[in-house]
């Protein structure tokens, strides 16, 4: 397996083993938020948030995001790991895409409420909408896999 394929496999494994991310947006000022997410086999990240939040309004005009995923707490003297991503974020609007993303999200997070559905969104039972982050650059730092500073920056 090539280094890039191995890195991508390790990134997919890392994404599926975590459920919360911090992401930053940019508008009149930079903003960071935390969200629960799910991912697909193409390393796209899906999350639910209200378009009226600060990050939601900023994403409407600037789709660029930076994402960090890491366990907290990690032992400062132990082997550290985390994932950094730069990509583009869009609100999903097509019914089939929204349904698929929301199903993926609910399944990963074990959300069972019927309000968390396409119909729940349409009726206003939940104010959130589904968003998709398409990664453009990724870097997995995992000191159990490689020495600090030797990580590869993967461009998709």
CA 7, CA 140: separation in Å to the nearest integer? 8
As separate numbers, helices (DSSP H) first and strands (DSSP E) second, the chain gives 4, 7
- Give 10-residue mean pLDDT values along the chain (156 residues): 85 96 97 98 97 97 97 82 96 98 97 96 95 97 80 89
Whole-number pLDDT of residue 1 = 57
Cα 108 from Cα 149, distance rounded (Å)? 32
């Amino acid at each position: 397996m090539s280094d890039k394929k191995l890195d991508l496999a390790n990134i997919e494994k890392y994404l599926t083993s975590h459920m919360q991310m911090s992401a930053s947006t940019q508008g009149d000022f930079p903003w960071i938020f935390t969200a629960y997410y799910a991912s697909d086999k193409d390393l796209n990240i899906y999350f639910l948030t209200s378009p009226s939040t600060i990050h939601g309004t900023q994403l409407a005009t600037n789709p660029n995001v930076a994402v960090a995923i890491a366990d907290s707490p990690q032992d400062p003297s132990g082997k550290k790991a985390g994932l950094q991503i730069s990509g583009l974020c869009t609100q999903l609007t097509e019914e089939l895409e929204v349904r698929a993303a929301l199903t993926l999200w609910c399944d990963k997070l074990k959300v069972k409420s019927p309000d968390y559905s396409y119909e729940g969104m349409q009726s206003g039972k939940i104010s959130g909408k589904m968003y998709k982050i398409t990664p453009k650059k990724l870097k997995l730092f995992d000191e159990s896999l490689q020495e600090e500073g030797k990580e590869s920056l993967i461009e998709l």
